[in-house]
Chains A and B, each alone.
Chain A
Amino acid sequence: MVLGLITSYENFNKIKILSCFVQDLCSKTNQNSTLVLFNLQNHPLDQQQLNQISTAWNQVINIKIVFSSKYYIPEIVNHILNNQLSQIINLNDYTYIVSNYDQVFSEIIPYLSYKYNGSIVSQVESINEDLSFNVSAFGGKIISKIEPIKKPVFITIKSYSNNPKLSYENVPITEVELDLSNHMFDIEVIHSEHRESSIKLEEARIVISGGRGIGGKEGFELIKAVAEELGAAVGASRAAVDSGWIDPQHQVGQTGKTVSPDLYIAVGISGASQHIAGMNKSKIVVSINTDPEAPIFKYSHFGIIEDYKTFLNDFLKVLKQSKLPR
């Protein structure tokens, strides 16, 4: 059997991608699927979303978790996996345990692989007929075909592009409520803050990102102005984030967010492999750089060799003029 693990904190698109991947795996292995949802009370999946994804699975376990804001999420998930989940399902029944390559499960999956003495296949992009997995490695420079030797196989998904095929009716949903608000954990959250922008990077149709060539915080003001005009999300390279010009949540790359918009505009980005790994699935890439030799042009469909400030100000003018009534 195939087990999927998600938390309600995850981007809903990624939950759908996971469901598609598991369907593909189930059809190739002729197995059934179970979804375990860690439904966190302060950021729950609503009933409509739950109905939408549940049809992709043979069985769904919805664990509603009441907890204190002082709790560290991976610690809660790990606690439930170790203590409560065994009363609901037997993990030994599962050959494949699948989650997204996100922060929480990057932490949880290796724990489980150790406990169940299985293998880990990380950053999976697709499944082969021989049940080996294609994974992205060396910052996306190569795709390696990995064959798991030990069972169970723990899989984290980086990206996956197929569409869902199956849709089940009357999928049994087991509702479980866990109140952990009196439980004592060893790690305490003493402060937290959200910095989410209005347009989510991973869902945006257009992304405009700035890099080292932007030269400072002010450069991002211009990028934000163009983004607003285009209805785009703002991204950044690691160099710009490391310089403190923009919050790390905007980072696009191997470590940051993986984006695949219709249009990606790279401004003052040289094209280090760290960055390419996060944007090379974009449909059309436009790069603006003063250096015609910058590696980013090898990944771009259109190139502009100009000072970015001059060019973006002109581009902004053109965009604004196009909106004037004629």
Chain B
Amino acid sequence: MKILALTKLVIDPDIPSTKFKIDPETKIQLGEDNPIVISSYDENALEVALKLKDKHNFEVTVMTLTHLDYSQPIKKALAMGADKAIILQTNQKFMDSQSIAYLLSKKIREDSYNLILMGYESADWGHRSLAPLLSSILNYHLITYAYTVSYQNEWIIHKLTETGYITLKTNKNLIVSITTHQENQPRYPKVKDIMLASKKPIIIEKIEETPPPSINIKSFQQPQTQIECQIIQGQNSLEKAQKLYQKLVELKLIT
């Protein structure tokens, strides 16, 4: 079986808010000297792929479409255990989901993957659209918001719902989007694997095509979230608890 793990590269979402800047011209986030990382749920998806590899020795390819510096995050993906990487390099700093899905699908069609995994949503725009778009274009079945995938002559998928859990099965070619869960926390690469990673193949392809956009970013604003925080003082914890209780009663939040 061949597994593809799609990895979106993003500017580290957990940088301090002072380092978060938007380019007034392109209206997207400026990279500056902030670290580039794999969008967090894509790392969970890669972990799901690697667990299948551990058990069944399935081949795992990672693929990314990016204008960012891929070297560190892709090195990490290979050190975690992916067999090879495909980098689609573009100059476009912003593309809508449809364009991304279209460009990725062209490359995905060149090979025959049985399972395509990716994060449920990206850390930047969070559109949740890529998996369903790719499933439409490539005619794969789709399961979203899953957390584990195993294989016993067919795919067994554990998925969260808004109120619980479901387990699904199918023997069709499948796209699964992955959300974070205790069972898919990304592994830390071992020193040996970091050394081996440098020998793994990285295929780089320049993408010149730019599909026509379906949406346009007109402007943006950074909401003012600075709230004056009143630190409740007191001799001890009990006194602080009493003061907080009084405040909340005054505000009619508790009775």
Contacts and interface: CB of A to CB of B under 8 A. Distances in A.
Contact of B244 (A143, A196, A315): A315
Interface stretch (A49-57, A85-93, A167-175, A303-311): A303-311
Interface stretch (A26-34, A120-128, A176-184): A120-128
Interface in B116-131: 120-121, 123-131
B71 interface: no
Q: Max chain A CB contacts within 10 Å: which of B136, B145, B162, B242?
A: B162
A318 interface: yes
B215 A121 contact: yes
A115 B169 contact: no
Given A230-B254, A298-B227, A302-B247, A255 B121 contact: yes
B29 interface: yes
Contact of B168 (A72, A111, A118): A72
A147 B216 contact: yes
Contacts of A119: 96, 98, 214-215
Contact of B245 (A142, A262, A322): A322
B163 interface: yes
A297 interface: yes
Given A123-B127, A143-B221, A298-B229, 19 more contacts: A9-B162, A110-B97, A121-B215, A122-B97, A122-B126, A122-B129, A138-B125, A146-B218, A148-B215, A187-B169, A191-B167, A272-B14, A274-B123, A280-B225, A292-B231, A298-B227, A300-B229, A303-B229, A304-B244
B172 A263 contact: no
Contacts, number: 258
A6 B184 CA distance: 31
Contacts of A255: 41, 120-121, 179-180
B232 A304 contact: yes
Contact of B242 (A144, A303, A318): A318
A111 B124 contact: no
Interface stretch (B1-9, B80-88, B233-241): B233-241
Contacts of B130: 110
A314 B237 contact: yes
A142 B22 contact: yes
B150 to A, nearest CB: 12
B221 to A, nearest CB: 5
A263 B215 contact: no
A273 interface: yes
A248 B178 CA distance: 13
B230 A122 contact: no
Interface string A253-271: 0110000001100000000
Q: Max chain B CB contacts within 10 Å: which of A111, A230, A272?
A: A111
Contact of B254 (A74, A190, A206, A244): A206
Interface string A105-122: 011111101110011111
Interface of A: 9, 72, 74, 101-103, 106-111, 113-115, 118-123, 132, 137-150, 186-196, 206, 230, 238, 241-244, 248-249, 254-255, 262-263, 272-274, 276, 280, 284-287, 292, 295, 297-307, 310-311, 314-315, 317-319, 322
A306 B237 contact: yes
Interface string B210-228: 0001111111111101111
A108 B238 CA distance: 51
B227 A301 contact: yes
Contacts of B228: 301
Interface in B123-170: 123-133, 135-137, 141-145, 147, 156, 160-170
A145 B219 contact: yes
Given A146-B216, A186-B170, A242-B182, A111 B163 contact: no
Contact of A243 (B162, B182, B253): B182
12 contacts: A103-B144, A107-B132, A113-B133, A138-B124, A140-B223, A144-B219, A150-B215, A192-B166, A242-B181, A284-B251, A306-B240, A317-B241
B214 A263 contact: no
A278 to B, nearest CB: 12
Contacts of B41: 255
Nearest to B132: A110
Contacts of A302: 229-232, 244, 247
Nearest to A298: B226
Contacts of A287: 229
Nearest to A287: B229
Which 9 A-B residue pairings sit nearest by Cβ, starting from the closest? A244-B182, A119-B214, A110-B132, A314-B241, A191-B167, A114-B136, A106-B128, A192-B166, A110-B129
Given A186-B170, A298-B226, A318-B241, A132 B13 contact: no
A147 to B, nearest CB: 5
A9 B164 CA distance: 13
A49 B219 CA distance: 39
Contacts of A242: 180-182, 185
Nearest to A101: B128
Interface in B163-195: 163-170, 172, 179-182, 185
A186 B165 contact: no
Given A74-B144, A206-B254, A120 B125 contact: no
